[in-house]
């Protein structure tokens, strides 16, 4: 009985170990399984959530652009946008990739502001009828706690080299000079956005400006206004791009290899953000103005 019991334990353990191994193999290598089966496919780069860093997306785009087995690239965007510079870096990476391969865009639920900025760099943009896109514009929000500080008898002493050095200082009133400088910056960043859309979409600047008042559009409205090219899900985008690059039938979708430590990284990053953005971060740091291509609606 004892030998049978031990043998049973080993069999069960071996079975569980095999299942776990296969699961990990699928998780870590499954992204490239289509490539192994067909020898060629379509690379998919996902732009998900707020765009605050461009490194990962740019690396993935560049990697697919250099890979001979990747015949085309799909950008799958589901994002409200984010910081200006990362959005622009991804935009430029897409333009570079287009010199080697076709790049199609598939909008998910939301591809607004910086998400649309990146999308307009693609060769062709697809949205779902109910996708939310647009929100073409720039925003910055400045916290001012001067009255609260006065009530609490807190006084901030600032020594600066020029009158604009502490623009946005939350412990003093926001002046008209401050407003003029910030407005000029917002206007310049807005012009960059509009100009890139006009160039990428082959539209007149004034036409873009008539659409670029910050409002959002459904995918169907965006199609009518010339902001997207077709309506359809990711599967249609893949089929159309596959046909464009000479892949017969349903193309394999190749996702970047998964990071073994992705879950741990996100957990740690989430904890770090909670700390840095929470009560332990000073009011002064929390109020540093950030210029964003971001949709701030519901």
- Residues tagged active-site: 113, 165
> How many CB atoms are located within 10 Å of the residue 230 CB?
14
- The answer for residues whose C-beta is within 8 angstroms of residue 34's C-beta and 6 or more apart is 41, 252, 253, 254
Helix (H) or strand (E) holding 234: helix 234-244
**Parallel, antiparallel, or unpaired: how do β-strands 81-83 and 292-294 relate?**
antiparallel
Q: What are phi and psi of 286, to 5 degrees?
A: -65, -25
Is 35 in contact with 69 (CB distance < 8 Å)? yes
Kindly state the DSSP code that residue 139 receives in the 8-state scheme: B
Position of tokens 């741990």? 264
Position of tokens 């160039």? 199
The DSSP bridge partners found for residue 82 are 51, 293
């Amino acid at each position: 009985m004892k030998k049978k019991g031990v043998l049973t334990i080993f069999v069960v353990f071996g079975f569980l170990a095999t299942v776990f191994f296969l699961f990990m193999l699928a998780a870590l290598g499954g992204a490239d399984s289509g490539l192994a089966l067909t020898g060629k496919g379509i690379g998919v780069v996902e732009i998900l959530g707020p765009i605050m860093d461009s490194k990962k997306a740019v690396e993935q785009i560049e990697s697919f652009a250099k890979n001979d087995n990747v015949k085309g690239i799909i950008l799958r965007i589901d994002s409200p946008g984010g910081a200006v510079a990362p959005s622009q870096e991804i935009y430029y990476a897409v333009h570079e990739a287009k010199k080697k391969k076709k790049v199609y865009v598939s909008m998910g639920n939301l591809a607004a502001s910086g998400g649309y900025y990146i999308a307009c760099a693609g060769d062709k943009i697809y949205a779902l009828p109910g996708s939310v896109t647009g929100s073409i514009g720039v925003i910055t929000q400045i916290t001012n706690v001067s009255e609260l500080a006065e009530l609490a008898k807190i006084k901030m002493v600032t020594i600066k080299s020029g009158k604009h050095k502490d623009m946005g200082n939350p412990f003093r009133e926001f002046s008209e000079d401050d407003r003029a400088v910030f407005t000029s910056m917002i206007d310049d960043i807005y012009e960059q956005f509009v100009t890139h859309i006009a160039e990428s979409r082959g539209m007149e600047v004034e036409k873009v400006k008539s659409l670029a008042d910050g409002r959002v559009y459904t995918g169907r409205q965006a199609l009518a206004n010339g902001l997207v090219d077709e309506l359809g899900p990711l599967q249609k985008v893949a089929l159309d791009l596959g046909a464009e690059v000479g892949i017969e039938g349903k193309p394999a979708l190749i996702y970047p290899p998964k990071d073994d430590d992705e879950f741990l990284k996100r957990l740690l990053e989430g904890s770090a953000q909670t700390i840095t953005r929470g009560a332990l971060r000073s009011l002064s740091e929390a109020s540093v103005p950030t210029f964003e291509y971001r949709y701030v609606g519901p």
